[in-house]
Structure 1
Amino acid sequence: MASNDRPAREERARLRTYQARQEVHARKQRRRTRDNIIAVLGLVVVVALATGAQMFYFSGGPGAEPATTETPAPTPNPTPAEGENQGDVPSADIAEGRTWSGTLTLNDIPLGIELDGAAAPQAVSSEISLIQSGFYTGTSCHRLTTEGLWVLQCGDPTGDGTGGPGYSYGPVENVPADGLYPAGTIAMARGETQYSHGSQFFIVYEDTTLPGDTGGYSVIGRVTSGLEELRAGVIDAGTSDGVPDGAPAVPTTITSFTIG
């Protein structure tokens, strides 16, 4: 009997060995599949985060000096290193620590403005220097946002959100502690770093809250008159292609900018 059982035992042993190998193979397959899924999910997360960051800086709130990207705007070329001014930045003493009054005319719509040289001395000094040199005359307002944040961005000599005055500066000044930029606020756009301010600025036409996790945006002053006329003549028409962040449907140019 023992000799007759031997082939059966050997067959059962071979079967158990085969089954064990199959189980090991199956476990490896399951592990490989799991690892592939984890890798794909990780890639998706990385891409999503990268896209989110790009969307913030490109469509940005107003910030970026475009050539960099601000809220609303692209990034300045090249993006200045954090903690470094680039180029011949006007002295912060120009603002004299006082309030400056003037008129910003867009498509022949005059906006009364005030710039606060005490609250944002470097940014206001730069603006005064650019205004008095005639830098802004003839430049366009290239960006209008109509959903989530409500701003008109101007001051780029290239007209596409990538230009500036040939210098950049920082850091940010006079940032609202609560992130609220009331209607009428005038603030500087910037790129990814706090040292990427240039010539681009934005006008808030409806109360807007902007994220402060990257430092916020330098408030330089406010519109004192003409905002409703600007809404009727430019903003209410929306963007040229109907998207919530794009060029104004009504081409908008700075026809004059005076300060004193």
Structure 2
Amino acid sequence: MAASSRSAREAKRRVQQMEAKRELRREQDKRRKRDNILATAGGAAVLALAIVLQLTVFAGNPTEDEFKAAEAGLKSPSASATPSASASNGQNIPKPETAAGKNFTGELALNRGTVGVELDGTKAPQAAAVFKSLADQNFYNGVNCHRLTTAESFGVLQCGSKSGDGNSDPAFTWGPLENTPADNKYPAGTIAVARTGGNAYGNGTQFFIVYKDTVIPADAAGGYTVVGKVTSGLDVVASIAAAGVKPGASATDGAPVEPVTIDSFSLK
């Protein structure tokens, strides 16, 4: 009886040990699967972050390299503008109704000469309202034009960064996009609004003057708002471009060799 009882206990212990090992293996399998899921999710998060960074790093209008890369893969412009963020201070942005149906004419007085301008409140009422308001506040007085591009089909002078280095003011962003070219073409004399890449509500205080026919591919949000045109003095901008850009990372994209400052911007 005693021997039989010991054998039974031993057999029971072996069964318990086997069950314990099986349970351990099940837990290990679950843990491996969980770790794999976390790793996959982590990879997806990294990829998403990379995409977000790629979209947000493109401020203003594109660099020459970004322009070439986009142009190479572009078959047609974006069908519509897709906002990726709301205006940061929408309550402080002038209402489009203040410019709707109106044309504003005036002068952009640079230290290199005067450029006559006209803003179109019919095609771009929100943009026209913003720039009329900024001009009336003398916002641009003393602000420089920090960027010049001189590539074959990409010729713009960009102005309006209060900091003077191309950074935008995060407290002054607005949208939506208006009057964007369906064919991505910006003829010489165009005045358009610079913005954060991929963001239809990334407009700010910066604008660019196109001094020769230019093609700028649309991005995820669309094109760039054409707010007006140069009516006289385009040769002033062309002469600034002829002097070239300061030596740097790109031979055709950088600060103008001859510093350009806005003395005043008047509209009526």
The two structures share one fold, judged by TM-score above 0.5 = yes
Given candidates 241, 254, 257, the residue that maps to 1:246 is: 254
Q: Aligned pairs, how many?
A: 197
Which residue matches 2:243?
A: 237
**Percentage identity across paired residues of the two chains:** 45
Residue 59 of structure 1 contacts residue 245 of structure 1 at CA under 8 Å; is this kept in 2? no
Alignment partner, residue 167 of structure 2: 162
Deviation at 1:110, TM superposition (A): 0.8
Q: Distance in 2 between matches of 1:117 and 1:197?
A: 16
In structure 2, what is the equivalent of residue 205 of structure 1?
Answer: 211
Is the 8 Å Cα contact of residues 112 and 260 (structure 2) preserved in structure 1?
no
User: Aligned residue for 2:130?
Assistant: 126
- Residues 97-112 of structure 1: pairs in structure 2 closer than 5 A: 97-112=101-116
1:164: how far off?
3.0
Aligned partner letter, 1:121 = P
Q: Distance in 1 between matches of 2:130 and 2:97?
A: 10
> 2:187 — aligned with what?
182
TM-score (normalizing by structure 1): 0.69
1:217 maps to a residue whose letter is Y
> Larger deviation: 95-104 or 246-255?
95-104
In the aligned structure 1, how far is the partner of 2:189 from the partner of 2:141?
Answer: 21
Q: Determine the structure 1 residue equivalent to 2:230.
A: 223
How far, CA to CA, are the matches of 2:127 and 2:183 in structure 1? 21
Counterpart of 2:169, as a letter, is G
3-state DSSP class of the match of 1:189? Answer: strand
Comparing 109-118 and 92-101, the one that deviates more = 92-101
CA distance in 2, matches of 1:91, 1:168: 14
Contact 1:164 / 1:200 at 8 angstroms: preserved in 2?
no
Task: Output aligned runs, 1:19-168, within 5 Å.
Answer: 57=59, 60=62, 82-87=84-89, 88-147=92-151, 148-164=153-169, 166-168=171-173
| Structure 1 residue 107 displacement after superposition | 1.0
* 1:236 to partner: Cα distance: 0.7
RMSD: 2.7
- Write out per-residue CA displacement over residues 17-67 of structure 1, whole angstroms, 9 at most, x where no aligned residue: xxxxxxxxxxxxxxxxxxxxxxxxxxxxx9x999986885576169xxxxx
Task: Please tell me whether the aligned partners of residues 144 and 152 of structure 1 are also in contact (alpha carbons under 8 angstroms).
Answer: yes
Unaligned runs of 5+ in 1: 1-45, 63-80
Three-state SS of the structure 1 residue aligned to 2:98 is: helix
CA distance in 1 between partners of 2:192 and 2:232 (Å): 16
Q: Normalising by the residue count of structure 2, what TM-score does the alignment of the two structures yield?
A: 0.67
C-alpha displacement of 1:206: 0.5
Per the alignment, residue 196 of structure 1 pairs with 202
